[in-house]
Structure 1
Amino acid sequence: MPFLSNLTASFLGERSAFNSPPAQLKLQLLAPISSTPSIRIAPPFQKVAFGVSRTGIGRSSICGRKRSVCMTLINERLGRDRDVADPSSILAYELVQGKHVNWSSVVVLNRSIPEPPTAVLLHGILGSRKNWGTFVRRLAQEFPTWQFVLVDLRCHGDSASIRKRGPHTVASTASDVLKLIAQLRITPRVLIGHSFGGKVVLSMVEQAAKPLPRPVRVWVLDATPGKVRAGGDGEDHPGKLISFLKKLPKEVSSKRDIVNALIQEGFSKDVAQWVVTNLRPTATAGSSSSNFSWAFDLEGISEMYQSYEETNLWKVVEDLPRGVHVNFLKAERSLHRWALEDLQRIHAAEETAADEGGGVEMHVLEDAGHWVHADNPDGLFRILSFSFKGVKV
């Protein structure tokens, strides 16, 4: 049975400690699904704060006299009265746990509480972890022995206030997520990335697949490892959207005005309404009116999207480490994003990976465009579900 990955220890600088027999944890096998599943989202635990900055998320807690907002998402019941070193600010995240999960990173060295199987979900360009919120809570209800980590990537959502050094690339974004899961002391069994996030999870495999426990299932949702083909068939082009957003003021008085401006520019109403979810109120105390400002770092996002277009990760798919299984999901209506050569290359990789002990598989999500988890959540749920029905050992 696989043991705790060296990945966590390597990022924390504690490789020798985690490699010792007492520190090696056996991964928890899936328990039978309860007839009345529910969700438990780990509440804030004041003594161990994840500092996000003044504009971060969470609530004020015991963080000394520093003017900052603190956030942590760990299990308060398990973590109470335990001393834990304050983690560094890496990325904003949310931990959603099924009702049968009885674990937190605070007690990772307690052998009586094995680590539950964990999935990490990543959003696309101009998105945030909230894009996955409803879908993940459904997964947690159906698979109550699993836990799910939703991440705001660098320059996005609540991570935008956590300053990151450039370059802002697919690789550096993947490195952020690897550092976060190391900080949380988890060894994910499933990695799911949509669009830009799809290349990020492939980059995670490239950077740290060998230390990861086996098996690892990777889901790349409506993205290819190489050339990016966007903006066809009447869909909006992310590059053009980013360029237009750069022309808008950093602070606005009305979300409706931004929606109208985007539609007038030729972007779809759905995309316009989705974009303004990135606006946050900027009202001061005692003021009856409020303006809005963008939550993301648009300059950083522009650099990330350029990297997305330039990054080629076919070599990862065509030379997978043993035990890693990559699943590509093509949206049925997302025709322009997938060239015939992409499909042929993936099918060729399927045969090669099978011979080498890995796995590559292609799926098609019917009745869906690029926004797969919004267009056909039921179909996506059915396709992804088999990854959570058991853990091979």
Structure 2
Amino acid sequence: MSALCRLIQRGLLSCRPSCRLFPGQQDVCGVAPMVRAASSSSPVNLTYDVFDGKGESTPLVFLHGLFGSKSNFHSIAKSLVQRTGRKVLTVDARNHGNSPHSSELTYEAMTSDLKHLLAQLHIEKCVLIGHSMGGKTAMTTALTQRLVVVDISPSQTSTRTNFRYYIQAMQKLKISSDIPRSTARRMAEDQLRSLVKSHHKLSFLPQERSVRQFLLTNLVEQNGNYAWRVNLEAISAHLDDIMSFPNFNTVYDGPTLFLGGASSAYISSDDYPEIQRLFPNADIQYIPDASHWIHADKPLDFISSIISFLQS
């Protein structure tokens, strides 16, 4: 999904958000969620990484997609710092990476988290670059200076995904304790493949192995036990919210880039009317031979497209 750039009027605090990690405990299913509870009624303190540039231009803020983390964009961030001189931040969404867990997972909540982070960092202007879920978070954020949306549109996307089956499989996973990480990953991938295969024909598609490898980046080891660092319970409960998009009657008429993968179905011609309604100055581009994970499939083309947009 893609990204949005928001103008935050003034910063409130000058402290780095952080969260404390608590080891997950193995349950009857073998793989426990990591527990980092947070109140569902207030913004959470998102974890992030900063790549400092020497330039004075507005910083770039990357928002990852479902089951992703801030590390997804590290190599992209380093390249953009070198080529543009801008400061770049990569951010973990709530219930993902090292950010706190919360029972709430809506775009309104994630937008509140983002505003809270930017205010804490005294970032008054930025360019948000959001992929998939991160793109919808960016679009939901109020008026911004520039917006880049990566392979997602402001429309329903649940029919194009296979995540419901993977969530169910991840919740059923059983991994032995005190085994090497490489062995645990092989065991987990074998179980994911067999569990999803028994429920859904999409498990036979070649790209499903890449999806499994991506999901397994969330399998972490603590004290000999393996746990999911993402909040599977909250993601499962709010999957319909994540796959949908809030209703808006307002319009963002600033520069907007919708960057899709030519081999992906996440931005189709059916989505153009809604994109043009909400973002009348949107430019829709596709990167050849790229799937939903454009930044991983075609990193050089992805970076070039962002730089061209920033210079336009």
Rounded Cα–Cα distance in structure 1 between residues aligned with 2:240 and 2:9: 29
Number of the residue aligned with 1:186: 123
Instruction: State the one-letter code of the partner of 1:174.
Output: T
CA distance in 1, matches of 2:17, 2:270: 45
Distance (Å, rounded) in 1 between the aligned partners of 2:248 and 2:307: 26
Q: Which residue of 2 aligns with 1:275?
A: 215
Out of 66, 70, 76, the position equivalent to 1:135 is 76
Q: 1:143 offset after TM fit, Å?
A: 1.1
Of 302, 323, 335, the residue aligned with 2:236 is 302
Question: Is 1:248 aligned to 2:173, yes or no?
Answer: yes
Aligned residue pairs total: 273
Give the deviation of 1:305 after TM superposition.
Answer: 2.5
1:196 corresponding residue in structure 2 = 133
Mapping 1:79-158, distance limit 5 Å: 90-98=45-53, 100-101=54-55, 116-144=57-85, 146-158=86-98
Aligned residue in 1 for 2:162: 237
The answer to whether the Cα contact below 8 Å between 1:203 and 1:313 also exists between their aligned partners in 2 is no
Q: Identify the range of structure 1 (149-158 vs 340-349) with the bigger mean alpha-carbon deviation.
A: 340-349
Contact 1:366 1:379 in 2 (8 A): no
C-alpha distance in 2 between matches for 1:314 and 1:361 = 20
Using the alignment, how far apart are the partners of 2:284 and 2:248 within structure 1?
A: 15
Q: Distance in 2 between matches of 1:251 and 1:130?
A: 27
Superimposed CA distance per residue, residues 128-148 of structure 1 (whole angstroms, 9 cap, x where no aligned partner): 01111111111111112x111
Q: What is the CA distance between 1:312 and its match in structure 2?
A: 3.4
1: distance between equivalents of 2:307 and 2:118?
A: 22
Match of 2:296 in 1: 374
Q: TM-score by structure 2 length?
A: 0.78
Give the residue type in structure 1 aligned to 2:146: R
Q: 1:77-103 CA distances to partner (integer Å, 9 max, x unpaired)?
A: xxxxxxxxxxx96111111112x25xx
SS at match of 2:10: helix
Question: Partner of 1:333 in structure 2?
Answer: 263
Aligned-residue identity in percent = 26
Question: Structure 1 198/190 Cα, relative in aligned 2: closer, same or farther at 3 Å?
Answer: same
Contact 2:77–2:89 (Cα < 8 Å) also in 1: no
Gaps of 5+ in 2: 1-5, 24-42, 198-202
Larger relative contact order (C-alpha < 8 A, sep ≥ 6)?
2
Distance in 1, Cα, partners of 2:66 & 2:234 = 11
Question: Quick one: which of 336, 340, 346 aligns to 2:275?
Answer: 346
Structure 1 CA distance, aligned partners of 2:150 and 2:110?
17
**Which string of whole-angstrom CA distances, capped at 9 and with x for unpartnered residues, describes residues 93-123 of structure 1?**
111112x25xxxxxxxxxxxxx641111100
Q: 1:347 to 1:186 in 2, by over 3 A?
A: closer
SS at match of 1:367: coil
How far 1:370 moved relative to its partner?
0.6
User: 1:222 maps to which residue?
Assistant: 151
Give, in whole Å, the separation in 2 of the partners of 1:139 and 1:374: 15
Distance 1:191 1:362 in 2: 17
Structure 1 pair 55/371, CA: closer, same or farther in 2 (3 Å)? Answer: same
Q: Give the superposition deviation at 1:302.
A: 2.1
**Cα deviation 1:289-323 (Å, max 9, x = unaligned):** x332111111122234321223235645xx22x5x
- Could you tell me whether the CA contact under 8 Å between 1:52 and 1:89 is conserved in 2? no
Deviation, structure 1 residue 339: 4.1
Q: CA, structure 1 residues 171+158, in 2 after alignment: closer, same or farther (shift >3 Å)?
A: same
The gaps in structure 1 that reach 5 residues or longer are 15-47, 57-87, 102-114, 284-289, 354-358
Q: Which amino acid aligns with 2:297?
A: D
1:151 and 1:313 map into 2 onto residues whose CA distance is: 25
